[in-house]
Structure 1
Amino acid sequence: MDPTKFAMNWTYQESLNDTEEMFMTYSKKKGMVPLRSDRFGERVMFAGNLDKNDLSITLSDVQLEDEGVYNCYVRNPPDRIQGHGFIQLNVVTELPPPRDSTIAVAIGASVGGALALLILSMVVVKCLRRHRKQELISEEKMEEEGKLEAEGVAEEGTKQP
């Protein structure tokens, strides 16, 4: 990096606004310079390391009004493309309530148990129907065999006179 040609700006943009407010820049003589800002005051500091190409900043005492887009624009000749990075900061005023997973587990187990019982009952009904059908078939076979034997006995009885 050539410090005489290097340029860098950090800007802030409200979420619903297109206007960007510059709050930090790089000066060839002074290095990283935080600009006076009513919004941030003394809460913004350069936290990076130029020798390692780290242009990080630290915003302390984050407030609800700090929510928005933070842009970092970099020009580092002989690079032809200007670098642009951004961070969308969402400020949350309170932690979301913890989720109670025991309710979800209980509901899941209940639904799973009900489905298992339903499938088990369907299998039992299917087995009972198959068993009854086999009994009917074997009864019909026995009746037919009985009729045939009875006819055979009747035929033998008519032949003897």
Structure 2
Amino acid sequence: MDLRFITRRHYSLLLCGVIIYLIYGTLLVTAIEVYAPEDAFFENGTTGTLKCSFKSKEVVSSGASVTWSFAPEGATDNPTSFFYYTGGKSYPGSLAQFEKRVNWVGDLNKKDASIQVAQMQFSDNGTYWCDVKNPPDITGSASHIKVRVVIKESLPQTSPAIIAVGVIAAVICLIVIAVVTYFIIRRQEPSHGYDGCNSNDTISSQTLRQGKKAESSMESSRCSSPSAPVQGPVIYAQLDHSGNKNSSAFHKVEPVVYADIRKN
């Protein structure tokens, strides 16, 4: 009895330990995930939007913060923060290069941490890091974007006109495919019209009909056998009383007399 009590107590303690470990382990591995595009191209002198979003298992609180950092192209040093946002307020960083040029356009409640940089310059080429913290989700890696500031002629061809042409071409291709598919299906459908028959079909059909007629004649003769005595042949005779032997007077003959000879 004592051994059973000790065993149950050990099992209870072990189960509690496992539950605590799972809860604590889950809290440890909980991390915030930050997303940003790999590359971004901007025309010189225009306003560029640096997009950044995040995913957190915790409700976004007032303690959530966003830090943007920058490293010039070819630099080997660690990036330098130039923008910080928390509690609904933004704070400029230590880089004079971005002074009064950065605006917050994100929304933490929508998991958006994007910013805009006005008057993009060639000196803005480099790598930008977006880092988001949402306590207790404070672990996670920052996401980075490689920015290229170029002249208008060097921008990737993604204008609305090109996009519209691509959409129209795709629609035309779909219509052509649908029409071709329709005609292919129509050709593969079996023809239900009458195409006539060849000589072999005609002969075989006639033979089949003759055989059927013969069979039907035999069946009718078997089925229509009279129960009365069989009568002999019926003789039809025309009697001419005019006495004229000329065949042209055949129309003056008397009515036909029927003679019926029966076998007794």
TM-score, normalised to structure 1's length? 0.52
The one-letter amino acid paired with 2:74 is: L
Q: Which residue does 2:49 correspond to in 1?
A: none
C-alpha displacement of 1:66: 0.3
Q: Of the two, which has the highest radius of gyration?
A: 2
In the alignment of these two chains, the number of paired residues is 95
- In 1, Cα distance between equivalents of 2:61 and 2:138: 14
Distance 1:82 1:15, change over 3 A: same
Normalising to structure 2: TM-score of the pair?
0.33
* Aligned residue among 127, 133, 142 for 1:69: 127
What residue is the counterpart of 1:23 in the other structure? 82
Distance 1:31 1:96, change over 3 A: closer
1:2 is aligned to 2:61: yes
Q: Secondary structure at the match of 1:51?
A: helix
| Residue ranges of structure 1 left out of the alignment (5+ in a row) | 98-161
1:23 counterpart letter in structure 2: F
Cα distance in 2 for residues equivalent to 1:74 and 1:35: 16
Q: CA deviation at 1:36?
A: 5.3
Whether the aligned pair in 1 keeps the contact of 2:67 and 2:132 (CA below 8 Å) is yes
Tell me how far apart the structure 2 counterparts of residues 2 and 81 of structure 1 sit (CA, whole Å).
Answer: 16
Distance in 1, Cα, partners of 2:143 & 2:108:
16
The secondary structure found in structure 1 opposite 2:106 is coil
Equivalents in 1 of 2:121, 2:138: separation in Å? 37
Alpha-carbon shift at residue 83 of structure 1 (Å): 4.3
Unaligned residue ranges in structure 2 (runs of 5+) = 1-59, 156-264
Instruction: Quote how far apart the aligned CAs of 1:79 are.
Output: 2.5
Change (3 A) 1:96 1:75: closer
Matches within 5 A, 1:46-85: 46-79=104-137, 81-85=139-143
Read off the aligned partner of 2:107 and give its amino acid letter.
N
Offset of 1:12 from its aligned partner? 0.6
Q: CA deviation at 1:16?
A: 1.1
Output one character per residue of 1:75-133: Cα deviation in whole Å (capped at 9) or x when no partner.
Answer: 21232632422111011135149xxxxxxxxxxxxxxxxxxxxxxxxxxxxxxxxxxxx
Q: Are positions 1:95 and 2:138 aligned together? A: no
RMSD of Structure 2 on Structure 1 (CA)? 2.2
- Measure how far apart 1:7 and its partner are: 2.9
